[in-house]
Amino acid sequence: MAVVSLKDVHVNFGGAPLFDGIELHLQEGDRLVVLGRNGEGKSTLLRVIAGTQLVDSGSVAISNDAQVAMLDQDAPLDFAGTALEYCMQGTGEVACRRFLTQLGMDGEAAFSGLSGGGRRRVMLAAALAAEPDVLLLDEPTNHLDIDTNMWLEEYLRKNAKTLVMITHDRAFARAVANRVAELDRGELFCFDCGYDTFLQRREAILDAEQQQRAAFDKKLAAEEAWLRRGVKARRTRDEGRVKALMQMREQFRQRRSRQGSVKMAAEEAVRSGNLVAEVEGLVFSYPAGGDAPAVGPVINGLTTTIMRGDRVGIVGPNGAGKTTLVRLLLGQLKPCEGTVRLGTKLEPLYYDQLRSTLDPNKTVIENLTGGDDVLIVGGRQKHANAYLQDFLFSPERARNPVRILSGGERNRLLLAKLFAQPSNLLVLDEPTNDLDVETLDLLEDMLLKYSGTVLLVSHDREFLDNVVTDCLVFTPDGRIQEFVGGYSDWRERFGRQGGAGLSAKGGAGKSDTGKPGSGKGEAPAPKTDRPRKLGFNEKRELAEMPDLIAGLEKEIAELHEQLADPELYRQDGQKVAGITDRLSASEQSLETAFARWEELEALAD
């Protein structure tokens, strides 16, 4: 029996239906990630399951005695108790304290005095501590550092009974989900597979849909031309043809096209000098306040040089000092010791994580231009509505106040506002929160094409890996480790013990101290054993490796070709699943073969 069952559910807030007869059935053990563009109704779907959003028609059924807990995007503003008291509304003290500590929160802190991110972490602790039968998580990774993200991945894989989550974090979705659902133009499409397999299937489905629509449009145009030639609908066959044409017209009228893509490009200023920032022996501590003891250094002895064109990722646990470092690099704070020398002709542009530059009571256009109908982009005048349409705001949506926008829409507006200004140094503080995956891909592409310098604070591992050229990684003692490459490169180089050292005190991923190769990123001591030589069977295996790999590559190419055929998706779904399973197995075999080949080659040298 399904734990959650939605049948023929309709929800309409005006305009096109948000849900147009969607169905969803979840069994125990399902870990479903819900994908879709901003505004497609992902958060509404979670609220429908939770029972906090009524449907216009259809049925929503939760199995008897099943407990549901939800992490919502919006934190309550009127709760007067402590973080622990908020958490204990649904479960016992011991579990609440454990999860609050794990998420780096003080249970005795006043809930109303916490930041937005702090409140969200308390709400996440409450949802996890309840150990529900159905767990609903709306953007659980927002405001979590990387190590806490990785702890949460592991916890959900092992402990979630039935999970439905919304996340922009592709690495998180890939690690946790065993099913995928995509909301698109009022419909919900479900896939019994992981995230990567879903991406392959969706690409083929979209290609097939495009071909089907092209064929439909061609036939419709031909039928319209036939009617215009003045053929009289006297015979029964002609009357039927006219009726069929009327039906095609109605189909075309009701057809909902996919929303356009964001057209994102940063307005670049004159080139800065080659040197952007030269940092020497930087130390910074916040002064003690009142009777409080002196605070240790947030940044302890950083020396680095940032050149024009560098894309630098800044990584560390919450509270480590990432935003403080950015402010020091921009000259907004003075160091306690050391120097920060800025280059010439710098025109920085700062992405505000707290969205403080947006006035919630003003419209989208008023926030962008101050009320003018035009703005200057690329040295030319452009109508505000046309510019906002590049960021997927319709003229009607552009006249709405910011307070009614979704989190993703607010982030898109902030990007539109910032990218209209000239810059040669982009400073992005958690830019990925609430953006849909497609917009994330376009933002990545824009940053890769940007000729200026980028400073990026982010917890999104895949975004960091795809964008940055260098990483500045905070260690627990306030020192910052510089590394050429992305975050995964850094973690691969220094191992999980080095990565665990990033964790906040009491948080996820504590490091094992005192072991060889752990601590501050030292490489493990090399082994002194003499290398052995290849045996007879290993030599034969090495000689056969090129043919084995070539065969696997050919098989993978053929399977990809089959999956790219739109006709495949009109057949039995089991055939698609079989091909994708074979593809996954072949790709795993190829990866294993390459690893074995490298191992044998190393022994042969």
pLDDT tens for each residue of 379-410: 788 899 988 988 888 888 899 998 888 777 88
Residue 160 confidence (pLDDT):
93
pLDDT band, very low/low/confident/very high, at 215 (cuts 50, 70, 90)? confident
- Which of 125-139, 347-361, 517-531, 591-605 holds the top average pLDDT? 125-139
* pTM value > 0.95: no
Q: Which residues of 272-305 are buried (b: 16+ CB within 10 A; e: fewer)?
A: beeebbebeebebbeeeeeeeeeeebbbbebeee
Residue 132 has which token pair? 């529900």
State which amino acid sits at residue 561. E
Q: How confident is the model over 38-60, as a mean pLDDT?
A: 92
Any idea where the domains of the chain sit in the sequence?
4-67+132-198, 267-287+294-347+423-515, 355-421, 536-604
Q: How confident is the model over 15-35, as a mean pLDDT?
A: 91
pLDDT band, very low/low/confident/very high, at 261 (cuts 50, 70, 90)? low
Nearest in space to 2 (alpha carbons), one of 20, 26, 34: 26
Total length of the chain: 605
Tens of pLDDT, residues 525-553: 333 444 556 777 778 888 888 888 878 87
Nearest in space to 277 (alpha carbons), one of 320, 250, 310: 310
User: Would you tell me how many other CB atoms lie within 10 Å of the CB of residue 332?
Assistant: 11
State which amino acid sits at residue 466. N
* pLDDT above 60 (res 495): no
Determine contact, residues 29/192, Cβ cutoff 8 Å.
Answer: no
Give the span between the Cα atoms of 52 and 44, in whole angstroms.
9
**Residue listed under structure tokens 């040089």:** 305
| DSSP assignments along 223-269, one per residue | HHHHHHTT--TTSHHHHHHHHHHHHHHHHHHH--PPPPPP-----B-
* pLDDT above 80 (res 507): no
Tell which CATH classification among 3.90.79.10, 3.40.50.720, 3.40.50.300, 3.20.20.70 matches the domain 267-287+294-347+423-515.
3.40.50.300
Give the span between the Cα atoms of 289 and 295, in whole angstroms.
9
**Residue listed under structure tokens 């039906």:** 247
In sequence order, the 6+-apart residues with CB closer than 8 A to the CB of 435 are 38, 168, 408, 411, 412, 443
Q: Do domains 267-287+294-347+423-515 and 536-604 have the same CATH topology?
A: no
pLDDT higher at 547 or 296: 547
State which amino acid sits at residue 496. R
Tens of pLDDT, residues 84-126: 999 999 888 888 999 998 898 889 999 988 888 889 999 999 9
pLDDT band, very low/low/confident/very high, at 209 (cuts 50, 70, 90)? low
In sequence order, the 6+-apart residues with CB closer than 8 A to the CB of 186 are 16, 17, 18, 19, 20, 22, 256
CATH superfamily, region 4-67+132-198: P-loop containing nucleotide triphosphate hydrolases (3.40.50.300)
Residue 323 main-chain phi, psi, to 5 deg: -65, -35
Give the span between the Cα atoms of 299 and 480, in whole angstroms.
7
pLDDT band, very low/low/confident/very high, at 569 (cuts 50, 70, 90)? low
Residue 430 confidence (pLDDT):
86
- Measured between its terminal Cα atoms, the distance across the chain in Å is 59
Tell me the pairing of strands 337-342 and 275-284: antiparallel
* pLDDT above 80 (res 14): no
Q: How confident is the model over 167-178, as a mean pLDDT?
A: 93
Give the span between the Cα atoms of 302 and 320, in whole angstroms.
14
Nearest in space to 393 (alpha carbons), one of 257, 256, 253, 263: 263
Average pLDDT, the chain: 81
Taking the domain 536-604, which CATH number applies?
Answer: 1.10.287.380
Give the span between the Cα atoms of 259 and 206, in whole angstroms.
13
Determine contact, residues 500/511, Cβ cutoff 8 Å.
Answer: yes
pLDDT band, very low/low/confident/very high, at 227 (cuts 50, 70, 90)? low
